[in-house]
Amino acid sequence: MKRYLAWLGAGLLTAALAGCGSTGPEAGGQGNTGGYPVTVKNCGVDVRLDRAPSRVMIVNSAPLQYLSSLGVLDRLTSRAGKFPPEYYSKQTLDAVGKIPSLTDRLGSDGHLKISTEAIIAEEPDLLLGLPEGVARESLAAAGTPVLLEPSFCPEGIKDPGYGTIYAQMRLYGKVFDRRAKAEQAVKDLQKRIKTVESRLSAQKGHKVAVLWPYRGEGTVGAYGNQSMATPQLKTLGAQNVFADVDKRVFEVSMEELLGRDPDVIVLLHTDGTDQEIKQALFDIPGAKDLRAVKNDAITVQLFNFTEPPTPLVLDGLERLASYFKGK
């Protein structure tokens, strides 16, 4: 793979899942009393926490929705990266605004630019996310455990789906001693999926390409069957035209895209206006011959509405359902 796209530039949360909560053990439900030390498996690594995290640094917006769902946003003491306000309820936006930001500097590829030393200097007792160029082993040697979203593990996910989201919610529930809240959050997510499915229009069967335009480079990345794009589209009765590719994301030529000729294109991004993102596709020679371009069947949405598997994918699902309803 020419690039490993683990864009870190999105933020989080819907009002339905918002909330900040206290730092103490979970009251009631399942008889939780902390049970530390806690060890969880993440990216094939055993991550041990001797106590409930209270100085958490977040450098990837994807975990934020889990934390909000569990009511532990008050554990965050530092952040880095971009957190687009479009993801947030007012309550969550207010909470995130109070967290000191080290940097929001991203490269042209969407990767966060921050050093290992800058992270260690914050003395976090848990790091959520791992910037490019920062080694998990270096942080572990400094006493900083790391948790990644499964899609961003080096080996990725062979069969991503909503089950990945549920499992990650339960993992964070265990880490933060919020097991009962995690179970309730899972039930809420399952209910939202059923609601979308029950309201699907009779018009199904769209052939869709989910793409990431490399702005200024004249190329695009496409999402295959190891991405959340495939199950998300399947829920909507649509087909990912790259579902036969056994990769999460990969660079695709315009010739290949024209050969697949989707009738709808979903463009993902972390920064920029809808028109700027569309223009990055239009500027590629041959793009105007695509059926979706000719029919103006293109929708743009922020990256975390589709990737990686988090509760925010449900927001993206609902957005796409509304878009397809009008097609």
Q: Are the beta carbons of 79 and 96 closer than 8 angstroms?
A: yes
pLDDT in tens, 229-250: 999 999 999 999 999 999 999 9
pLDDT in tens, 86-145: 887 888 888 889 999 998 877 656 678 889 999 999 999 999 999 888 999 999 999 999
Q: How confident is the model at residue 151 (pLDDT cuts 50, 70, 90)?
A: confident
272: left (phi over 0), alpha (psi -120 to 50) or beta: left
56-58 vs 126-128, strand pairing mode: parallel
The Cα–Cα gap between 73 and 55 comes to 11
pLDDT tens digits for range 296-314: 999 999 999 999 999 999 9
Angstrom distance (rounded) from CA 317 to CA 164: 16
Q: What is the pLDDT of residues 198-230, one digit of tens each?
A: 988 766 789 999 999 998 888 999 999 999 999
Amino acid present at 53: P
Q: At what angle do helices 179-198 and 312-325 cross, to 10 degrees?
A: 10
**How many Cα atoms within 13 Å fall on the side-chain side of residue 20?**
14
Among residues 129, 117, 136, 137, the alpha carbon closest in space to that of 80 is found at: 129
Domains in the chain (CATH in brackets) are: 15-192 (3.40.50.1980), 207-325 (3.40.50.1980)
Question: DSSP labels for 120-182?
Answer: HHT--SEEES--TT--HHHHHHTT--EE--GGGSTT--SS-SHHHHHHHHHHHHHHTT-HHHH
226: DSSP letter: T
- Its pTM stands at 0.84
Q: Is 100 helix (H, G, I), strand (E, B) or coil?
A: coil
